[in-house]
């Protein structure tokens, strides 16, 4: 009896130590240092340790007695042998995770002559480790453990109470983070050498898809959050960190173009995953749900957890600086959402080149979902703020260099790059997702665009504008009323985006040389002269292409919104937008867009960017306002 108590106490101490180690390494992940000399020396040791852990883990669960355990749900009570098995699994999972993090951060050359650099070393690491198939083993373990969420004791994990956590919970967290870090290391290698890594990525995606982990994940995320919420524990915790990190990595793999082309992409799974991730972000206070939106309704179900978690409320209000772990959770969730949405846009563009797309296409149905519109609106609001901030920094630099004086109204030259624009946050208040999201989005855009300033942010708007445009195109007369993409706030957003996209276009245009600007005014065929002339013309057009796309799609989005509202006879949101000051932003944006079209022959060929196309939008606004005034006059006369 006494010996059993000692064994239980020892197990509890091991669980506590494992949980503390996971918590410490999780918080340190956001600030992983570059590889130092000491790390280079220990690189071979890291590879050997990871290979041993991967081989040991796979061997453990290939044994017939252990493999039989995975064929039935986890038992509530188990003996000493299974306890040892879980302890060995935790140990190997933690070792794999730490070694994968070490190798992923390794970027400097191994040798003094510069040969054997970080990219080559990471590929060798993956080849050796993945040969033991640890991804399939970890994925099968997660599928097995997640059959019984109650046995994982996730609320205790959230509270970091290691002494009350069963081995199942620690094993689940170890496998979750271990699998995520291994796959993330594979993703980094794919960026180093896409051609060599293509086969590896497809193989890894096949391994975890075949285990059923992908299909199981959306439902498990919802069950886990409800369990933590019911226990009144903070949602921003280790379990959510693990789920968000794994979800992001898995979504990265299944949306990877090379992998997605060789299998039927499950858009029904994508719909479920997007809704669960959006609900998760809103419930944890990392995003604000749109009024009446699906995520806001889901957040109400988790209100007890949100009210009991001071960290969640601080994140949503922005009153205090969020912890690094919270910022990483937000970044992982929003990255997964962005990848799902952008994949659908890419599929539509790739399969509808030169023809109209059909609403019955699977990816079109995905883009028609309310969750897609909600996320696209909030992401666009965030990008609009980023464009404003970088526009202001650009103008500050111009002022310091005393290049051109800034103005508060458009002059005869119509220089939007010199126009002092007001902060759009007040107009976009209903759509802004919150400070944590804004910070994570700004960091993500900076990382993905290579720090190319306002031009990179403007280009980053295109995918979300396309997605929202496709969502609006699916709206029917019966579903148009109350649709978030047709609200006054959404119209305000489109007007602000058009204005900033036009100003951003002019910033890039006036950064060109006089010769390059002259070539843009010529037709592409006329400008394509012999020798250097044709090359310079092409170079100038390539420089302007991202800004052209941003301007075109911001204008197209506004055109689509006005068209649907015009067809359905809904004038109230238009008049409300004009009354709230959006009319000035709209007229300035249309004026600048017209000016941009006159400077670039490529833009002149876009129907919506021509004078008739832009006047169509103005006509709809004016006609809508007149209808509202006539209606108001009729009501006043009847009352009189």
Where residue 543 falls among pLDDT bands split at 50, 70, 90?
A: confident
Match 């999201």 to its residue by tokens. 437
What per-residue confidence (pLDDT) applies to 206?
A: 86
Mean pLDDT of the chain: 78
Shared domain check, 501 and 376: yes
- For 233-275, write each residue's pLDDT tens digit: 888 889 999 999 999 999 998 887 545 554 457 888 999 999 9
pLDDT in tens, 386-441: 999 988 888 888 777 766 777 777 766 678 777 888 899 988 999 999 999 999 98
- Joined together, the tokens standing for residue 375 give 């996320």
pLDDT of residue 635: 41
Quick: pLDDT tens for 141-159. Answer: 999 999 999 998 888 888 7
Residue 489 lies in a domain: yes
**Is the pLDDT at 29 greater than 80, yes or no?**
no
Residue 40, both tokens: 């280079």
Q: Is the pLDDT of residue 86 over 70?
A: yes
**Domain boundary residue, one of 349, 383, 411:** 349
Residues 266, 374: one domain? no
Calpha distance 526→596 (Å, rounded): 20
- Residue 58 tokens read as 């796979």
DSSP H stretches of helix in 151-212: 154-159, 167-192, 194-210
Q: Higher model confidence: residue 207 or residue 165? A: 207
* Residue 362 resides in a domain: no
Residue range 219-240: mean pLDDT, rounded:
90
- Beta-bridged to residue 407, according to DSSP, are 419
Domain identity same for 422 and 557: yes
Structural domains counted in the chain: 2
Window from 112-126, 211-225, 599-613 with minimum mean pLDDT: 112-126
Q: What is the pTM of this model?
A: 0.85
Same domain, 345 and 380: no
Domain that holds residue 301: 2-349
Nearest to 123 by CA among 110, 114, 136, 112: 110
- List C-alpha distances in Å: 244 to 85, 95, 176, 635: 27, 21, 10, 54
Express each pLDDT in 552-572 by its tens digit: 999 999 989 888 888 877 766
User: Which pLDDT belongs to residue 478?
Assistant: 63
> What is the pLDDT at residue 47?
83
285, containing H or E segment: none
Q: What is the pLDDT of residue 385?
A: 94
Give the rounded distance of the alpha carbon of 161 from its chain centre.
Answer: 32
Q: Are residues 145 and 234 in the same domain?
A: yes
485 touches 473 (CB < 8 A): no
Cβ 146 vs Cβ 112: under 8 Å:
no
Residues 316 and 391 in one domain: no
**CB neighbour list of residue 287: distance below 8 Å, 6 or more residues apart:** 278, 281, 295, 330, 334, 378, 433, 434, 436, 437
Shared-domain flag, residues 344 and 415: no
Which has the higher per-residue pLDDT, 323 or 301? 323
Task: Indicate if 443 and 588 belong to the same structural domain.
Answer: yes
Q: Is the pLDDT of residue 131 over 70?
A: yes
- What pLDDT sits at residue 117? 52
Q: What is the pLDDT of residues 450-467, one digit of tens each?
A: 655 555 566 679 999 999
189 and 228 share one domain = yes
For residues 636 and 640, what is the distance between their CA atoms, to the nearest angstrom?
6
Residue 170 lies in a domain: yes
Which pLDDT does position 450 carry in this prediction? 62
How far is the C-alpha of 65 from the C-alpha of 340, rounded, in Å? 39
| Domain co-membership, 384 together with 338 | no
Of the candidates 206, 214, 241, the one whose C-alpha atom is nearest the C-alpha of residue 97 is 241
Helices (H), 112-151: 118-130, 134-145
Residue 189 lies in a domain: yes
Same domain, 466 and 542: yes
Q: Is the pLDDT of residue 40 over 70?
A: no
Whether residues 340 and 413 share a domain: the answer is no
pLDDT tens digit sequence for 519-542: 888 765 554 555 556 677 788 888
Closest CA to 374 of 483, 455, 463, 299: 483
């Amino acid at each position: 009896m006494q010996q059993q108590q000692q064994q239980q106490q020892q197990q509890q101490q091991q669980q506590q130590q494992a949980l503390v180690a996971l918590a410490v390494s999780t918080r340190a992940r956001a600030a992983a240092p570059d590889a130092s000399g000491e790390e280079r020396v220990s690189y071979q040791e890291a590879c050997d340790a990871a290979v041993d852990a991967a081989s040991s883990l796979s061997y453990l669960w290939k044994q017939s007695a252990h493999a039989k355990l995975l064929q039935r749900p986890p038992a509530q009570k188990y003996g000493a042998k299974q306890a040892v098995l879980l302890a060995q699994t935790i140990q190997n999972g933690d070792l794999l995770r730490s070694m994968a993090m070490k190798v992923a951060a390794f970027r400097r050359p191994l040798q003094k002559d510069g040969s054997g650099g970080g990219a080559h070393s990471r590929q060798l690491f993956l080849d050796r480790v993945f040969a033991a198939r640890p991804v399939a083993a970890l994925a099968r373990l997660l599928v097995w453990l997640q059959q019984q969420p109650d046995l994982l004791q996730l609320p205790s994990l959230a509270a970091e109470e290691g002494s009350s956590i069963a081995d199942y919970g620690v094993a689940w967290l170890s496998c979750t983070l271990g699998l995520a870090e291994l796959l993330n290391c594979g993703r980094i290698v794919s960026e180093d050498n896409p051609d060599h890594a293509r086969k590896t990525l497809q193989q890894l995606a096949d391994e975890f898809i075949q285990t059923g982990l992908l299909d199981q994940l959306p439902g498990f995320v919802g069950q886990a959050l409800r369990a933590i919420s019911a226990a009144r524990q903070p949602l921003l915790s280790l379990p959510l960190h693990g789920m968000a990190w794994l979800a992001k990595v898995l979504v990265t793999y299944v949306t990877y173009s090379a992998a997605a082309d060789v299998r039927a992409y499950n858009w029904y799974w994508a719909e479920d995953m997007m809704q669960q991730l959006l609900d998760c972000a809103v419930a944890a206070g990392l995003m604000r749900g749109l009024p009446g939106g699906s995520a806001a309704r889901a957040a109400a179900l988790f209100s007890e957890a949100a009210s009991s978690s001071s960290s969640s409320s601080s994140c949503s209000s922005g009153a205090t600086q969020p912890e690094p772990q919270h910022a990483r959770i937000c970044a992982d969730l929003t990255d997964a959402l962005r990848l799902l949405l952008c994949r659908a846009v890419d599929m539509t563009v790739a399969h509808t080149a030169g023809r109209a797309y059909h609403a019955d296409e699977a990816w079109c149905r995905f883009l028609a979902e309310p969750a897609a519109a909600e996320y696209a609106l909030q992401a666009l609001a965030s990008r609009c703020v980023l464009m404003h901030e970088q526009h202001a920094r650009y103008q500050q630099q111009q002022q310091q260099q005393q290049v051109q004086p800034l103005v508060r109204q458009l002059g005869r030259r119509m220089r939007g790059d010199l126009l002092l624009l007001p902060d759009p946050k007040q107009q976009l208040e209903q759509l802004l997702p919150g400070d944590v999201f804004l910070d994570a989005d700004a960091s993500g855009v900076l990382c993905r665009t290579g720090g190319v300033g306002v031009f990179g942010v403007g280009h980053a708007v295109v995918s979300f504008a396309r997605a929202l445009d496709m969502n609006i195109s699916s709206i029917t007369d019966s579903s148009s009323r109350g649709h978030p993409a047709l609200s006054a706030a959404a119209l305000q957003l489109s007007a602000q985006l058009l204005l900033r996209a036009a100003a951003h276009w002019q910033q890039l245009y006036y950064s060109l040389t006089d010769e390059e600007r002259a070539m843009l005014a010529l037709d592409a065929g006329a400008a394509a002269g012999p020798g250097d002339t044709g090359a310079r013309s092409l170079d100038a057009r390539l420089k302007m292409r991202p800004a052209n796309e941003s301007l075109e799609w911001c204008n197209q989005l506004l055109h689509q919104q006005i068209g649907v509202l015009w067809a359905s006879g809904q004038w109230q949101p238009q008049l409300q937008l004009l009354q709230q000051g959006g009319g000035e932003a709209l007229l300035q944006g249309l004026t600048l867009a017209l000016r941009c079209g006159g400077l670039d022959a490529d833009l002149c060929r876009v129907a919506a960017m021509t004078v008739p196309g832009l006047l169509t939008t103005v006509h709809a606004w004016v006609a809508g306002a007149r209808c509202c005034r006539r209606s108001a006059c009729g009501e006043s006369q009847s009352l009189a």
